[in-house]
């Protein structure tokens, strides 16, 4: 029998996407029943991590769309600004790809504990690099005006990075729980 953990000491955060159309995330917290087994915690931890990556992916796609839309618009931008938008578009595209890979790894079935650990470590690496891409894009956007559109576009990128940071924390928590399981 797996060791038991007092649920009164645990509050689980569940991040769910409200819908793909709005790409808004809701954060819910709840306390579990009196006791839950370690395997139940790991199962919930995996779901939380996967859901967080899915929310992050939706926001990264939204940010990429905002960057791409501005880059393709007829707004007159300074030469340096077009380079920043191009670079940022590449970074956000990379972020989306990495988050998709992470989502796939977390959604797959592991053959054994070693395979599960490898999948989670892959996801952890990809989410971390996605966050780096998003932060670099946000920093670059902070240095240009973009014909007065900077705050709107940068806001979407920053929001994506916040969700990716949350996802990184939950995937890291999942990696820790796999390392501690019997």
Contact 56, 167 (CB under 8 A): yes
| Per-residue model confidence (pLDDT) at position 28 | 30
| Per-residue model confidence (pLDDT) at position 144 | 93
Contact 161, 138 (CB under 8 A): yes
CA distance 94 to 130: 7
CA distance 39 to 41: 5
| Per-residue model confidence (pLDDT) at position 43 | 66
Give the E-state strand segments of the chain in sequence order. Answer: 4-6, 11-17, 25-31, 35-37
**Tokens matching residue 88:** 């940022």
pTM (two decimals): 0.75
Contact 175, 124 (CB under 8 A): yes
User: Residue-wise pLDDT tens for the chain (182 aa)?
Assistant: 443 433 332 333 333 333 322 333 333 333 333 334 444 455 688 999 999 999 999 999 999 999 999 988 868 888 889 999 999 999 999 999 999 999 999 988 878 888 889 999 999 999 999 999 999 999 999 999 888 889 999 999 999 999 999 999 999 999 998 876 54
Contact 46, 106 (CB under 8 A): yes
| Per-residue model confidence (pLDDT) at position 56 | 97
């Amino acid at each position: 029998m797996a060791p038991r953990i007092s649920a009164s000491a645990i509050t689980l955060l569940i991040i769910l996407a409200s819908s793909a159309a709005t790409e808004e995330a809701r954060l819910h917290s709840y306390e579990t029943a009196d006791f839950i087994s370690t395997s139940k915690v790991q199962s919930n931890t995996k779901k939380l991590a996967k859901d967080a990556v899915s929310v992050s992916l939706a926001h990264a796609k939204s940010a990429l769309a905002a960057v791409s839309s501005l880059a393709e618009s007829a707004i007159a931008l300074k030469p340096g600004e077009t380079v920043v938008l191009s670079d940022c578009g590449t970074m956000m595209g990379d972020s989306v790809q990495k988050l998709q890979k992470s989502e796939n790894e977390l959604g797959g079935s592991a053959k054994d504990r070693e395979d599960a650990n490898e999948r989670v470590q892959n996801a952890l690496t990809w989410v971390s690099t996605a966050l780096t891409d998003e932060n670099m894009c946000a920093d670059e956007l902070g240095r240009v005006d973009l014909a007065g559109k900077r705050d709107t576009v940068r806001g979407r990128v920053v929001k994506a990075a916040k969700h990716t940071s949350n996802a990184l924390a939950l995937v890291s928590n999942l990696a820790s729980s796999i390392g501690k399981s019997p």
